[in-house]
């Protein structure tokens, strides 16, 4: 399964490497876009989309454009989140952040251009029908806009140094990170168009793994390995940030992680036998066991 993952990661990396063609404007904007796109991302979202599509249709190739699109949107969000006006981070995954290399104004523009490019890439894909492309663009824009990722980031920033409850914390994470993870799974559903019951089970699955991802993130900030994480641990406590651990305790957070893990497996168990769910099960394991 690790091999299959690596194959998809290579495929995504290859697609990304020639995704940003240089314009004739003679700036290094494209270089700065590519810098962040190739700065060691784990490709979770695109790989999840391809694995889900492969399970549903045995043909993951049709998922490459939306896979690239969601990775571009994820990447732009990191560039903007790292800006001095937001989290003011100098490093990400052990590399200098975009604005530390290219300067602040270009980092803002590189983010804007990547966000725009995501929709360009999906709209230009020749292997998908216009109807499917519109479904994908509807879902991707909702997932990443003011009711999705950007809205979640806003609520997260606004909640800094204030005390929030678990309901609000889940609201933040469903919007901020869950929405794009959910897009990855449901984008594949848009392409494959399986039965409504299959779509619903996968939608629930994507919701549970999205929350798992975030709970694990909070746990890693407590007991993670700084070297493997590529960032310092304990920063949530230091920044007085509400997390699953701060609100529920270490044990409570572990229990919640277990709850969503069981629920995610349960969603996969509901799928008809025709579907080989081993890859999506592997994603669950990966989300529980990840060290970075």
Residues of this chain that interact with its own copies (CB under 8 A) are 20, 23-27, 29-30, 33, 76, 80, 83-86, 104-106, 108-109, 111-113, 115-117, 119-120, 123-124, 129-131, 133-134, 137-138, 140-142, 144-147, 150-155, 157-158, 171, 175
CA distance 132 to 154: 30
Q: Running DSSP on this structure, what letter comes out for residue 60?
A: G
Minimal distance in Å, beta carbon 141 to its own copies?
4
Residue nearer to its own copies on the CB measure, 13 or 31: 31
- Report the distance separating Cα 289 and Cα 292, nearest Å: 9
Nearer to its own copies, 46 or 148 (CB): 148
Closer by beta carbon to its own copies, 38 or else 142? 142
Of 43 and 135, the one with the shorter C-beta distance to its own copies is 135
Phi, psi of 91 (to 5 degrees): -130, 150
Q: How many residues does the chain have?
A: 292
How many Å apart are CA 175 and CA 192, to the nearest integer?
Answer: 25
Long-range pairs for 115-122: beta carbons < 8 A, 24 or more residues apart:
115/72, 115/73, 115/76, 115/144, 117/19, 117/20, 117/33, 117/72, 118/68, 118/69, 118/70, 118/72, 118/73, 118/76, 118/144, 119/69, 121/19, 121/65, 121/68, 121/69, 121/72, 122/65, 122/66, 122/69
To its own copies, the closest distance from the beta carbon of 268 in angstroms equals: 29
Closest separation in Å from C-beta 90 to its own copies: 16
Residue 94 vs 103, nearer CB to its own copies = 103
Q: How far is the CB of 25 from its own copies (least distance, A)?
A: 5
Shortest Å, Cβ 190 to its own copies: 12
- What is the spatial distance between Cα 189 and Cα 203, in angstroms, rounded to a whole number? 9
**Beta carbons of 23 and 120 less than 8 angstroms apart:** no
Nearest CB to its own copies, comparing residues 116 and 163: 116
Nearer to its own copies among residue 160 and residue 240 (C-beta): 160
Compute the least distance from the CB of residue 280 to its own copies, in Å: 27
Rounded to the nearest whole angstrom, what is the least distance from the CB of residue 282 to its own copies in the complex? 31
Q: Would you give the DSSP letter of residue 23?
A: P
């Amino acid at each position: 399964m690790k091999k299959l993952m690596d194959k998809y990661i290579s495929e995504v990396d290859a697609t990304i490497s020639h995704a940003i063609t240089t314009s004739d404007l003679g700036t290094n904007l494209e270089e700065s876009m590519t810098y962040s796109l190739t700065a060691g991302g784990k490709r979770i979202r695109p790989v999840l989309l391809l694995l889900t599509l492969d399970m549903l249709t045995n043909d993951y190739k049709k998922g490459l454009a939306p896979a690239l699109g969601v990775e571009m949107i994820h990447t732009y969000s990191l560039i903007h989140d790292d800006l001095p006006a937001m989290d003011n981070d100098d490093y990400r995954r052990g590399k200098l952040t975009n604005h530390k290399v290219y300067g602040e104004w270009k980092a803002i523009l590189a983010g804007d251009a990547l966000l725009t490019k995501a929709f360009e890439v999906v709209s230009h894909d020749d292997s998908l029908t216009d109807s499917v492309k519109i479904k994908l663009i509807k879902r991707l824009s909702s997932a990443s806009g003011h009711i999705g990722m950007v809205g979640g980031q806003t609520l997260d920033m606004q909640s800094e140094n204030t005390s929030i409850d678990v309901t609000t914390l889940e609201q933040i994470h469903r919007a901020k990170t869950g929405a794009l993870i959910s897009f990855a799974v449901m984008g594949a559903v848009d392409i494959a168009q399986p039965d409504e019951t299959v779509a619903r089970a996968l939608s629930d699955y994507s919701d549970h793994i999205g929350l798992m991802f975030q709970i694990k993130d909070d746990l890693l900030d407590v007991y993670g390995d700084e070297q493997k994480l590529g960032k310092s641990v304990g920063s949530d406590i230091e920044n007085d940030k509400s997390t699953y651990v701060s609100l529920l305790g270490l044990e409570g957070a572990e229990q919640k992680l277990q709850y969503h893990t069981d629920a995610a497996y349960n969603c996969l168990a509901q799928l008809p036998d025709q579907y080989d769910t081993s890859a999506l099960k592997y994603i669950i394991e990966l989300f529980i066991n990840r060290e970075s």
